[in-house]
Amino acid sequence: MSSQNNKPLTTIASLNKLKNESKKFSCLTAYESTMTSKICDAGVDIVLVGDSLGMVIQGNDSTLPVTMDQLIYHLECKGNNNSHIMADMPFMSYATDDLGFENATRLMQSGAHSVKIEGGEWICKMANTLAERGIPVCAHIGLTPQAINRIGGYFVQGRDTDKHDLMIAEAKALESAGAAMLLLECVPDALAESITSQLNIPVIGIGAGAKTDGQIMVVHDLLGISCLEKPPKFVKDFMSEAGSIKEAIQLYNISVKSGIFPAEEHTFF
């Protein structure tokens, strides 16, 4: 497997082009320079500096304890080579519009190319404000880990008719508000397909079937070192089929872009 580290910078425009051409793109989490460089060299399009670091790096049982300063520390680690860097907005870092604008600005000044915000229609105003000021937003709906105490567990979202219809309406509202991307987590395959086909912006999936425009995984899950005793259904251990970390990441990238991953066994129906 050859390195693709000479690929051009991945931008919002290039991700839109991939969607328009019905080409898949790949995303992985990363929290430090060495892993980031390996991910970028493999040709992965988006690197997410995610609040998942609270679980896989800090050992917490949720993402809630992660602070802005901690997220920025990991965001400022070097190693990127032409991938799009997305940064999570940690829990309560966007509790008000003013606070969200201030913290999104901090993330962009620390090296992010876009920010990811969990929430439905209630974040539309913030998405619009940030977009108007040059900050691309990826809206995250479906299973939103920051709301785990309200949800009550890590469950598939959108199976009943009301939530199915609400999620489609929220996705459309977020696009209209100016969101540049949408991330769907733990939703049925048919719902993810419907949302992806109805939106003009790129849609990223995790546990959302194979019909989204892009796929994302936590890199520790990909390497078979998940912090969870039982990894979620949508996780695949690519390390079990590879001879090295480098090969495992390359295999993931190729599998996503060829449509091999996720397969039916990783999909909710």
Per-residue DSSP letters for 247-265?
HHHHHHHHHHHHT-SS-GG
Mean pLDDT of the region 145-154 = 86
Above pLDDT 70, what percent of the chain?
A: 98
4-25: buried (b, 16+ CB within 10 Å) or exposed (e) per residue?
eeebeebebeebbebbeeeebb
Tell me which residue of 165, 113, 103, 159 sits closest to 138, measured CA to CA.
113
DSSP string, 101-154: HHHHHHHHHTT-SEEEEE-SGGGHHHHHHHHHTT--EEEEEES-GGGHHHH-SS
Rounded percentage of the chain residues whose pLDDT exceeds 90 = 91
Average pLDDT, the chain: 95
| Three-state SS at 87 | strand
Which residues are designated catalytic?
185
In this structure, what token pair is assigned to residue 21? 């051409």
Q: What pLDDT does residue 230 have?
A: 85
Tell whether the model's pLDDT for residue 6 goes beyond 80: no
The pLDDT value given to residue 87: 98
At residue 228 the predicted structure's pLDDT band, cuts being 50, 70 and 90, is confident
Let me know the angle formed at the C-alpha of 26 by 160 and 266, rounded to the nearest 5 degrees: 40
Ranges of each domain in the chain: 12-266
Reported pTM:
0.95
pLDDT digits (tens, 9 = 90+) for 167-225: 999 999 999 999 999 999 999 999 999 999 999 999 999 999 999 999 999 999 999 99
Q: Is pLDDT of 97 > 90?
A: yes
Say yes or no: domain 12-266 is CATH 3.20.20.60: yes
Kindly provide the residue ranges of all beta strands, DSSP E only, lying in the chain, ordered along the sequence: 25-29, 46-49, 84-88, 114-118, 137-142, 181-185, 203-206, 214-217
Count CB-CB contacts under 10 A for residue 36.
Answer: 25
Which pLDDT band holds residue 1 (cuts at 50, 70, 90)? very low
Among 211, 63, 51, 202, which Cα is nearest to 116's? 51
Tokens matching residue 227:
């912090």
What band does 3 get if pLDDT is binned at 50, 70 and 90? very low
pLDDT per residue over 57-71, tens digit each? Answer: 999 999 999 999 999
Q: What is the mean pLDDT of residues 88-95?
A: 97
